[in-house]
């Protein structure tokens, strides 16, 4: 039975070639001071920065420059951004980049008018904002996280070796608008492109591998997974294929904009394991997920055999005839493994910089979730990490 839920997603999307021009429609809705949030410089090299600045100037905005948001944004950078927004009385936070810029913008948004320490309030105590928040807009240049249409924000604290995501309950934390031009993603290095593709795929898995009921969300998920696999194979061979890149971009948004989680408990343990690896190694998010996925899924498979069999037959077209359910399910994971290798994803945490001495720390940094097929204990988590080395 599909559980009860409410559904509201207020983010307005502009999708396709030349969609940046719609920034002109959005900017008049906000005040004069725009905090322009971007990363380490890719948007200056590929010309997107210049185009955005031109539109901001044409709309009479004052620009508060806030570059240097690193992949896996840190709490220290967040504190700088909050200071900038306060000192310059920001009216709009405009993130131009990937999930890191977008997540960071949301974290600044909920913190500008908040007297508490943002790390403690939002990422340790998981509280909701009780202050006025700032609107966030996004021009997406890297595909994968879905941050362009959700209320998630992941921040890393190097001091306490924790990387924690907060999915805010209030829809007003979602970007007010997001501009998605697939051509803006064409300058991504191959490694970032495939990391993003696996991030999308795993977001779908995290929601799919829970529950045993018949529900619409799982059928939508299977369609999205098939689309991602198909387009990823085309983009892997020819990254300039617009059709494939546009399908990947659109799938990423739907993979994590709350729709396919509706009526489901959802798992999220691959992300919890991956985030612990991220906190220790600062590795690329999608690669931390690919490196831990197979040992985790092979371990929990016996507890969710019916769904893993369905995954094999519906997503990977494995023929179940003459096989036990377990054999079919394992063949599905084997098909997934060979696709991951074909893309060139990280297949273990050693190549990301983790080692056996970190296992205890990684287990400490892993939040345990209860929505999947097996609630793990600490020893099980340690064993999974050992299998990921």
> What is the contact mask toward ligand NZQ in residues 100 to 119, using x (rule: CB under 6 A)?
xx-x----------------
Rg of the Cα trace of the chain?
20
Work out what residue 154 binds among Zn ion, ligand NZQ, none; the CB cut-off runs from 5 to 8 Å by kind. ligand NZQ
Among the residue ranges 116-124, 144-152, 297-305, 364-372, the one whose residues contact ligand NZQ (CB under 6 A): 144-152
Among the residue ranges 25-33, 141-149, 294-302, 348-356, the one whose residues contact ligand NZQ (CB under 6 A): 141-149
Restricted to residues 161-190, the positions that interact with ligand NZQ (CB under 6 A) are: 165, 184-185, 187-188
Nearer to ligand NZQ, 40 or 212 (CB): 40
The string over 331-353, giving b where at least 16 C-beta atoms fall within 10 Å of a residue's C-beta and e elsewhere, is: bbbebbbebbeebebbbebeebe
Instruction: Report the alpha-carbon distance of residue 50 to residue 82 in Å, rounded.
Output: 24
Query: Applying CB under 5 A, which of residues 103, 199, 218, 267 lies at the interface with Zn ion?
Result: 199
Work out what residue 296 binds among Zn ion, ligand NZQ, none; the CB cut-off runs from 5 to 8 Å by kind. none
The string over 47-75, giving b where at least 16 C-beta atoms fall within 10 Å of a residue's C-beta and e elsewhere, is: ebbebbbebbeeeebeebebbebebbbbb
Is 72 an interacting residue with respect to ligand NZQ (CB under 6 A)? yes
Tell me how far CA of residue 241 lies from CA of 98, 185, 247, 340, in angstroms.
20, 11, 10, 20
Q: How far is the CB of 238 from ligand NZQ (least distance, A)?
A: 17
Q: Among 358, 370, 374, 383, which residue's Cα sits nearest to residue 281?
A: 358
Work out what residue 72 binds among ligand NZQ, Zn ion, none; the CB cut-off runs from 5 to 8 Å by kind. ligand NZQ
Query: Applying CB under 6 A, which of residues 144, 182, 304, 332 lies at the interface with ligand NZQ?
Result: 144
Among the residue ranges 62-70, 191-199, 225-233, 318-326, the one whose residues contact Zn ion (CB under 5 A): 191-199
H-assigned helices in 116-215:
118, 190-208
Q: Among 136, 243, 137, 182, which residue's Cα sits nearest to residue 18?
A: 182
Taking the CA atoms of 24, 30, 31 and 34 in sequence, report the sign of the dihedral they define.
Answer: negative
Nearer to ligand NZQ, 64 or 101 (CB): 101
Structure tokens, 147: 């941050």
Work out what residue 353 binds among ligand NZQ, Zn ion, none; the CB cut-off runs from 5 to 8 Å by kind. none
Nearer to ligand NZQ, 217 or 275 (CB): 275
Q: How far is the CB of 187 from ligand NZQ (least distance, A)?
A: 4
> What is the contact mask toward ligand NZQ in residues 219 to 258, using x (rule: CB under 6 A)?
-------------------------------------x--
Restricted to residues 197-226, the positions that interact with ligand NZQ (CB under 6 A) are: 199
Instruction: Report the alpha-carbon distance of residue 14 to residue 214 in Å, rounded.
Output: 33
Instruction: Report the alpha-carbon distance of residue 289 to residue 284 in Å, rounded.
Output: 9
Beta-strand pair 152-157/162-167: antiparallel
Structure tokens, 204: 């779908």
Work out what residue 88 binds among Zn ion, ligand NZQ, none; the CB cut-off runs from 5 to 8 Å by kind. none
Other Cβ atoms closer than 10 A to 81: 26
Work out what residue 142 binds among ligand NZQ, Zn ion, none; the CB cut-off runs from 5 to 8 Å by kind. ligand NZQ
| Strand ranges inside the chain, DSSP E | 12-15, 33-38, 62-66, 92-97, 136-140, 152-157, 162-167, 177-180
Is 142 an interacting residue with respect to ligand NZQ (CB under 6 A)? yes
The angle at the Cα of 305, spanning 304 to 310, to the nearest 5 degrees, equals 105
Structure tokens, 233: 């194979």
Q: How far is the CB of 64 from Zn ion (least distance, A)?
A: 29
Query: Applying CB under 6 A, which of residues 36, 39, 201, 251 lies at the interface with ligand NZQ?
Result: 39
Q: How far is the CB of 50 from Zn ion (least distance, A)?
A: 30
Q: Among 285, 266, 260, 258, which residue's Cα sits nearest to residue 274?
A: 285
Is 42 an interacting residue with respect to ligand NZQ (CB under 6 A)? yes
Work out what residue 46 binds among Zn ion, ligand NZQ, none; the CB cut-off runs from 5 to 8 Å by kind. ligand NZQ
User: What is the Cβ-side half-sphere exposure of residue 160, based on CA atoms within 13 angstroms?
Assistant: 16
Site for Zn ion, rule CB under 5 A: 199
Site for ligand NZQ, rule CB under 6 A: 39-43, 46, 71-72, 97-101, 103, 141-142, 144-147, 150, 152-154, 165, 184-185, 187-188, 192, 196, 199, 256, 271, 285
């Amino acid at each position: 039975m599909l559980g009860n839920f409410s559904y509201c997603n207020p983010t307005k999307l502009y999708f396709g070639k030349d969609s940046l021009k719609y920034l002109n429609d959005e900017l008049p809705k906000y005040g004069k001071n725009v905090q322009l949030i971007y990363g380490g410089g890719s948007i200056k090299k590929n010309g997107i920065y210049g185009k955005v600045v031109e539109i901001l100037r044409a709309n009479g905005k004052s620009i508060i420059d806030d570059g240097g948001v690193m992949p896996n944004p840190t709490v220290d950078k967040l504190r700088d951004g909050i200071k900038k927004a306060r000192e310059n009385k920001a009216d709009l936070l405009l993130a131009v980049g990937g999930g890191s810029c977008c997540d960071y913008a949301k974290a600044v948004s909920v913190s500008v008018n908040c007297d508490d320490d943002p790390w403690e309030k939002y990422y340790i105590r998981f509280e909701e904002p009780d202050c006025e928040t700032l609107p966030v807009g996004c021009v997406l240049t890297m595909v994968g996280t879905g941050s362009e249409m959700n209320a998630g924000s992941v921040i890393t604290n190097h001091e306490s070796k924790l990387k924690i995501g907060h999915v805010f309950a209030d829809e007003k934390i979602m970007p007010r608008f997001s501009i998605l031009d697939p051509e803006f993603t064409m300058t991504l290095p191959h490694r970032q492109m495939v990391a993003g593709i696996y991030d999308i795929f795993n977001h779908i898995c995290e929601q799919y591998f829970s529950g045993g009921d018949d529900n619409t969300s799982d059928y939508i998920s299977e369609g999205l997974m098939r689309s991602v696999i198909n387009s990823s194979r085309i983009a892997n061979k020819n990254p300039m294929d617009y059709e494939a890149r546009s399908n990947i971009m659109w799938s990423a948004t739907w993979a994590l904009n709350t729709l396919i989680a509706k009526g489901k408990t959802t798992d999220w343990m691959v992300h919890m394991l991956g985030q612990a690896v991220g906190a220790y190694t600062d590795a690329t998010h999608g690669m931390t997920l690919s490196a831990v996925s197979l040992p985790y899924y092979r371990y929990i498979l016996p507890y969710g055999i019916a769904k893993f069999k369905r995954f094999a037959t519906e997503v990977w077209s494995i023929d179940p005839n003459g096989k036990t359910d377990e054999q079919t399910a394992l063949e599905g994971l084997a098909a997934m493994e060979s696709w991951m290798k074909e893309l060139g994803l990280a297949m273990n945490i050693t190549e990301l910089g983790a080692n056996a001495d970190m296992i205890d720390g990684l287990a400490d940094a892993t939040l345990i979730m209860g929505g999947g097929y097996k609630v793990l204990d600490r020893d099980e988590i340690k064993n999974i990490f050992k299998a990921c080395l």
